[in-house]
Every structure is written in structure tokens, then in C-alpha cells.
Amino acid sequence: MCGIIGITSTKPVTQRIVDGLKRLEYRGYDSAGVATLESGHINTRRSAGKIANLQSVVDAHPLHGHIGIGHIRWATHGAPTENNAHPISNGKLSIVHNGIIENFAQLREQLTAKGHVFHSQTDTESIVHLITDHLDHGSSPKEALHKALNQLEGAFAIGVLFEGHDLLLGARRGSPLVIGVGEEEMFLGSDALGLAPYTDRLIYLEEGDWVILKSNSYQIYDHNAAPITRPIVHIPTDNFQIAKDGFAHFMLKEIHEQPSVIGQSLSNVLDPCSRLPSFEGLNFPQVNAFDTINIVACGTSHYAAMVAKYWLEGLAHLRVNVDMASEFRYRKPTLISNDICLFISQSGETADTLAALKHAKAHGQFCIALVNVATSSMAREADAVILTDAGVEVGVASTKAFTCQLIVLATLSLALSLQTKASSPEQVTVHVEALTHVPTLMGQLLTQTETYSQIARKWLMGAKDILYIGRGTLFPMALEGALKLKELSYIHAEGFPAGELKHGPIALIDQDLPVIVLAPHDHLFDKTLSNAFEVLARGARVILLTDTIGAKKITQINDHIIVITLIETTDLTAPLLYALPLQLLAYYTALHKGTDVDQPRNLAKSVTVE
């Protein structure tokens, strides 16, 4: 959520800053801007809307400075207007800011009483005037920043330019910020992707760190203003290559990448000789069947956690609690020392999940982070890390990152079932064999995309409401399918356990309501099928996803039901394989409606504020 790029160099920086912002578009935003220092003076260009608007402004009114900062903003305080876009400047300094300043109202009141005049609705402007106030009282830029940091409450990452000073300052607390080390130039970014074309030498600032950058040097300070060193990490720039590769959208490309990345993620957690699950490098504590695992996540990752609960309880006989990260700390959970907490996040920067991890760690939990970014804040904070291998995911609506989470969680469940002796090696081998076929089966499903396009056009794109139902592990998948449709098409959709229909939701059924039924032929098939017939009897349109065996049992075929025949599945493979048609239905519904598939309105890829 939001993105920062800063460069201090011996050559012009404006276009590289704008290009860096384009690489961060996947994070989600609704305005953009850039500011540079020219002959000691700050000049700013900003625009509402997409970066293309900013590019037009910069082309019409060029900036020529060798030091600059840029920002894409996802609105929190203040509407997404040009006036509220970053950088926020006041003639003495200019700031870009990710995060939320929780005490901005108090600061604004205090600073207004001192004569400071505010021109935006943002919480960011309180930082601008706070630092300015310290400058007005004789502080240097370094001193003014440090004093201001001690007065700010909340989570933030900031970059600051000062009128008349050839330097760039940055600071972080609760929101990620990375330094890039170049040749006669230095970089500042909210993540490595924005800096990838410019350097492969990165320094990840830690909690409370702040930095002074010049074109040929940098100095990092801790929260006490003591000079400190942080290690340089070398990351090959080809790790961050992003392109659509001929696909219409990044999301469609990422859907089609799933067979490959799932296969890679699976191979990473299997022993190459025994083909049994292997998490040897995890330093995982011994788990007994009576132990409890708490799983915490947000959004799509939360649905992956819900699926994992079925697997861990059914296979490993463990007690499992699943929490939404935004609620975890506030319900004051009972945390028994040395219990295990698993935190799931694609980016590893999700603010609610990161805060929950820190809370659990402070209460004596062994904390595991399941993330897609090895250098993320959660990966550095956790006691142990499990990495997925999804690669960069640009589309805001998660696809391949989600299914990579599922394949790793399935394998982890099998590993723990061996540890608790709930499963034998022979039983686990059968499950692993089924998982190894998932990439091939997904490839087969991807040959049916035209089917989903036709269903989306005929049955879904004109609907006002859509229901998804399923049982067992397909209940969380119903939630995920509904979320995808909401995110992309802006159609109201809800997921329910199929058995809960009669407890209220069935009142919504009428002839205009499509109901998507997830019904693999498993031990719950007959019950799920009876629920499908219940909604059919009340005039609803039913799209039933099943397999070849299940399809043979559908006898009441009429104009109100369409059966999509998938591949036969197991309890472990069903969520993975049913994820793909759910993604495609959402994608094609949005495509036919003409909504923004890769960057849906109001959404951000990485939610770095609570």
C-alpha cells in the first residue's frame, strides 16, 4: 500500500523515479507525485489517478534535479486528489510517507496554534510542519528529523528532501524501507522491486532506523540517533523481472504460471530422495498431538489458513485456531508459552499480520512466517521462515501466491502428521504422490478457459448478487471465490458453508441469483448436491463445479443448472484445483464488465497500514 522511490545522484533522477513508481503500481494507489531539488530549491509535480497522468505532467513541465523523491498514494486521510498527493511540500522541505500517523490530529492542532498553515487533509502534512518547526528553532535537518521521529506515533516509512541541502533522509517504523547502494548514487525504496533496475546491493532498514543519503555515501542511525551498520544484501536483479509476456493482464499471466510455481514450491519442501516432506531447515519444535497451533492471516491468506485447519486437524490430529490478523491482538487470546503461531502473508509486510506476530512473540510463542519474500519484515521478525516460490505477483487479487501457500501448507500438514505419528510414511507417500500431479492437472484445467469466459458472460456479469457454497475444505474456497469476484468485478458476492443455507441465506434465493456450488465427489458430495437441488427448487441458477464421477450423478439437468466437470481430486488436492476455476470465473466476469483487473478500485497489493 503506497510506494516510495528516492534517488540522490550526480545525474538527473526524475524519469528513473517515475519508472520506479511504475514498478510499484502493483501495490495499488490513487495518486502519484515526484519532487526534486534543483539549485537548492524543491520543485514538485503531482497528479490524481494513474502514473500516466503524472508522466504527462512531468513531460509538460520537466524536472531536472539530481536528488528526488517519488510516491504513489493509496488514500487514507484525505481524498485521492492532487492536493493530497505526495510529495507534500511547504517551501522548506518535501516528504513522501507510507503508513498512518496516529497522533496527527493532536500534532496538527499544536502546530496550527504556533502559526503553521495546513493545505491538505493528509496526516502526512503534520510531519512536514513538525520537522519545519524544529528547523525554525535552529535544528539541522538531521536534528529536526530525529526530534520529529520521537514525537510521531503510528507506523510509517518516510523520505525527506530539504531546501538548500544536497541530501535525502529516510526513516522507518512499522513500515518497510530499503536502501539501494549504487555507483555515485544512492536509492531509497519501499521495497526492492522498485529499485531492481538500478542496483542489486540492498540494505534493509530495521525497526526505528533512519538514514542520511548522499550521492556517494550513507549513514544509518538507530532510534537513539547512534550510528549503526546494517548488512548489504546482494539480490540478482533478474529476481524482479516483471512483464505480461503476451497476456492481456498480469492476473491472467499469474493464473497460467501456477503449474510452474506450485511445482517449484512443492519441490522445495520435499526430500529429493525419499520424496517425503522435509522442513529440516525450519528449526521447528517437536509437535505433539495435544499441542495447539494458532494460524493468523488476512484476506486470501486467511482462507488458506482456514483450509490448513482442516488438514492439520484431520491429518496431524492437532488443535488449530485460525484468526484474522486484524482481530487477533484485540480479542486478547490466551497464549500458552511455547505454543506455535503460524503467520501467513504473501508480501511479509501486511501490517495487521506483522503486528500480530510481534504480539505473539512477546508472549512467548514460537513464531513461524509463511511468506513469499525472504527479506520481508515478517521473515526477519519470525523465529522460523517457510518460503513459497511464487515469484513476484503483480495482480492485486492474489492467485499464484495463494495456491503456493496451499501447496506448502498441505506438505507441512503431512510433515506434522508424521511427527505426531497420526500418519505412517506409507500414507504420507500416497498424499505426496497426489500433490505432485497437481501442476499437470492444473495445466489441463487451463485449456478450458473459454468455458469460464462464456459462463461469466452469460450467467455472472449481469448479476447483482452471487452466492458460493461448499463443505469441508471447499467452504473456505467458497469464501475465496466470492472475494475474488468482489475484488475484480465489484459484484456483491458471499461464501457460505452449504449446510448453513437453511439457517438464513436461503431467503436470498430467487430466479436472478446465481449460486456457484463447489462439489467434488468426496464423502460430503451427496449433502452438497442436496443443497444444490434446494436452491434449484427455488428458481436459482446453479453453476456446479464437480468431477467426472460427480457429474454422472447429476440427473436434474435443465436450463437453470450448468455442470463444470473438473478433474477427480483428493481432500488435499481439491482446494488447489478448485482455486483455478474460481479465479478464471472472477477474471472473465471482470473482463466482460470492463473493470480494472490488475488494479481494482480502492485496493492495494500490500496492506501496510492497519
Residues annotated as catalytic are 2, 605
Which residue has 436461503 as its cell numbers?
506
The identity of residue 440, as a single letter, is T
- How far apart are alpha carbons 359 and 580 in whole angstroms? 35
Residue 68 burial (C-beta neighbours within 10 Å; 0-12, 13-18, 19+): buried
Cα separations in angstroms, 231 against 100, 123, 132, 220, 239: 28, 32, 32, 11, 19
Secondary structure tally for the chain: helices H, strands E: 20, 25
Question: Which residue matches cell numbers 456450488?
Answer: 517
Are 138 and 131 in contact by the 8 Å Cβ rule? The answer is no
The three three-digit cell numbers of residue 330, written as one number = 484485540
Report d(CA 604, CA 2) in Å as an integer.
8
Core vs surface per residue 457-469: b (16+ CB within 10 A) or e: eebbbebeebbbb
Q: How many Cβ atoms from other residues are within 10 Å of residue 599's Cβ?
A: 23
Judge contact between 179 and 187, C-beta under 8 A: yes
Q: Of 401, 352, 361, which Cα lies nearest the Cα of 384? A: 361
Element housing 592 (H / E): helix 574-593
